[in-house]
């Protein structure tokens, strides 16, 4: 399956929105790989296992009962873990923080690799994450890497939380964004970095529609 568009970048940069809009525009499937790491972290947390026990982590990753269901005529994708709708808790900062910690463990990344690659189905896939272009779909013909300064990303995250009816404190969100960046960029396994073939877009001063227009220009199909 050759039609793969990878969208990687820092947290809070708007990858999820751009990926969803591109998938709708192209009529392709969507992989939100962050949601897989988040759901995995929730499963590990719920079982109360020691994250130093790699054997158990791999077992949980391999047996993770995870399904994504899109609602017709809705932007929302519902995520179910062991049959339970976890969509709300999945998006919290707490879950993101746990996911970021657990995502730095090499055996976890390897155990979740195939599950992500299986999303590549006809007619095409838009994959959003940190290592979509470098590790999960290295042969993808279309690769994008999105950046924006940390203050702008913290503001975007705050708006997102407010839209979900959750309160947030900007200084705290900024600190979280910077801590997450530090961990994602510096980890040994699949660090966040643009693939050599990726088209880099600094979105700090761009609207979502402008970013989508630039990404669309890249895909001439
Ligand atoms: O993108 P999102 O904020 O949902 O991802 C949550 C965390 O999962 C990130 O901070 C990152 O550490 C991790 N992640 C990852 N590789 C991916 C997607 C997410 O390491 N492909």
pTM reported for the whole predicted model: 0.93
- Ligand 1 pocket residue status of 96, Cβ below 6 Å: yes
Q: How confident is the model at residue 91 (pLDDT cuts 50, 70, 90)?
A: confident
- The closest of 187, 209, 218 to 101, measured between CA atoms, is 187
How many Å lie between the centroid of ligand 1 and the Cα of residue 131?
9
- Ligand 1 pocket residue status of 109, Cβ below 6 Å: no
* Ligand 1 nearest-atom number relative to CA 8: 21
Residue 13 CA, distance from chain mean position:
11
- The closest of 145, 150, 130 to 201, measured between CA atoms, is 145
Q: Encode pLDDT of 154-204 as tens digits.
A: 999 899 889 878 888 999 999 999 998 998 899 998 899 999 999 999 999
How many Å lie between the centroid of ligand 1 and the Cα of residue 123?
25
Q: Encode pLDDT of 43-83 as tens digits.
A: 999 999 999 999 999 999 999 999 999 775 566 789 999 99
**Which structural domains are found in the chain, ordered by start?**
4-218 (3.40.50.300)
Tell me how far apart the terminal alpha carbons of the chain are, to the nearest angstrom: 14
How many Å lie between the centroid of ligand 1 and the Cα of residue 100?
6
């Amino acid at each position: 399956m050759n039609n793969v568009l990878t969208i990687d970048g820092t947290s809070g940069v708007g990858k999820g929105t751009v990926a969803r809009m591109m998938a709708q525009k192209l009529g392709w499937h969507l992989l939100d790989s962050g949601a897989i790491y988040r759901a995995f972290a929730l499963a590990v947390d719920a079982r109360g296992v020691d994250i130093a026990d790699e054997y158990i982590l791999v077992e949980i990753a391999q047996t993770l009962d995870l399904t994504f269901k899109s609602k017709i005529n809705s932007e929302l994708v519902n995520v179910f873990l062991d049959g339970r709708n976890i969509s709300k808790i999945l998006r919290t900062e707490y879950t993101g923080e746990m996911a970021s910690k657990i995502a730095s463990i090499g055996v976890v990344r390897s155990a979740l690799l195939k599950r992500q690659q299986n999303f590549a189905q006809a007619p095409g896939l838009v994959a959003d994450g940190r290592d979509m272009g470098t590790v999960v779909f290295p042969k993808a013909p279309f690769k994008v890497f999105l950046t924006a300064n940390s203050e702008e990303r913290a503001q975007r995250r705050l708006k997102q939380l407010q839209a979900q009816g959750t309160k947030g404190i900007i200084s705290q969100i900024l600190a979280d964004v910077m801590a997450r960046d530090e961990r994602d960029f510096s980890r040994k396994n699949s660090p966040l970095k643009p693939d050599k073939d990726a088209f880099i877009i600094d979105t700090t001063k761009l609207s979502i529609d402008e970013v989508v227009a630039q990404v669309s220009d890249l895909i001439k199909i």
